Amino acid sequence: MHRARWVACALISLAACGSTPSVAADKPFQTTVVADFVSPWAMTFLPDGRMLVTEKDGRMLLVSADGKQATPLAGIPAVDSEGQGALMDVVLHPKFAENRLVYFSFSEKGQTGKGVALARGTLADGPKPALENVAVIFRGSPFVEGNGHYSGRIAFSPDGYLFFTAGERQKFDPAQDPKSTLGKVLRLNDDGTPAAGNPLAAKGFHPAIWSYGHRNLLGIAFDAQGNLWEQEMGPRHGDELNLILPGRNYGYPIVSNGDHYDGRVIPDHDTRPDLEAPKVFWNPAISPAGLMIYNGDMFPAWKNSAFLGAMNTPGLVRVQLDGTNARKADQWDMDGQRIREVEQGPDGAVWLLEDGDDGSKGRLLKLTPKG
């Protein structure tokens, strides 16, 4: 179907071809600008309503609940922010109230190239807030040359395991290499060691690998039923939302619903039923960033929806989840700005970070119901 897809999509249902829903002109929410940052990448809420926000160049900010104060945290390691490199995700330990542990990811330069690192530190509050006792607890391997596809998303499972994404670093083949952790979803203990019982360790894979055959994994989240969802950028089109199952091969670069940027054709997912296909894909691309699964009360109609930022077709995307299935629901233009991050606030509001590129100011936005 690959080369015929664009013709076929004119003749059959566009939804079957991975099309994007038309961008809604009327938004069911009002948007409040809360703060403005410099190329922000990710955010998370503290129990008291304050936020931690990361910026691409290597700053982590402690932000007041109203957004009026933003204080840089001391203790952040050196970040290699060239290209797609950045200080990336930030997530609290499930028992943060007891241990004050903050987990974050960043790109770094090593002796043999560059790679993605996962670190943690203890948040010390006060007049000069800092992350103390910071240590790198996991590194994607191997380090390679280049500045792309670090990924670096973090999520804790309901049973307390740490899931971490490592992109294939624009090198293609590592996604299928059983010894490499690149192009993989990884399951770790909270100290960064590989979790016992990972599904592929007995087959000779790196013991941290949970699933493989991924490209640039820029969002990962658990739903209320404990299902793990992941989104990733396809090559040239073919962006994906995947249900992540243990031990499965998601096909890249063997299959994709997009093609290589140089025009070389990649066979579609439906040519290899032995490999896991996405639950939803986008062709043309939306360039997804961030992933949040909504379970709040402020927007009851959105419960059990996945929200993704979109950076190619700028805006906010909603996908309705139904058990282990998914379908496209809404897409809203956010004034032409690329959305890098989506989070749910403590009161059920939806919070967005603009990418801070292509004319965006890198603003923090709060979405609440109209009226």
- By annotation, the residues acting in catalysis are 149
Q: Give the CB-side neighbour count of residue 191, counting CA atoms within 13 A.
A: 2
Measured distance CA(195)–CA(175) in Å, rounded: 20
Measured distance CA(29)–CA(39) in Å, rounded: 24
| Residues β-bridged to residue 139 | 117
| Residues β-bridged to residue 163 | 155, 187
Tokens (6 digits) for 215: 């490209």
Tokens (6 digits) for 295: 């379970």
Q: Which of 319, 309, 295 is nearest to 352 (CA)?
A: 309
Q: Are 143 and 115 in contact (CB under 8 A)?
A: yes
Integer distance in angstroms from the first to the last C-alpha of the chain?
Answer: 46
**Which run of H or E residues covers position 293?**
strand 288-294
Tokens (6 digits) for 272: 């290899």
Q: Which amino acid is at 67?
A: G
Q: Are 54 and 355 in contact (CB under 8 A)?
A: no
* Residue 64: exposure state from Cβ atoms within 10 A (0-12, 13-18, ≥19): middle
Q: What is the DSSP letter of 214?
A: -
Give φ, ψ of 352 to 5 degrees.
Answer: -130, 150
Measured distance CA(356)–CA(365) in Å, rounded: 13
Measured distance CA(101)–CA(93) in Å, rounded: 6
Q: Are 91 and 161 in contact (CB under 8 A)?
A: no
| Residues β-bridged to residue 218 | none
Task: Respond yes or no on whether the N-terminal peptide bond of residue 207 is cis (omega within 30° of 0).
Answer: no
Q: What is the DSSP letter of 58?
A: S
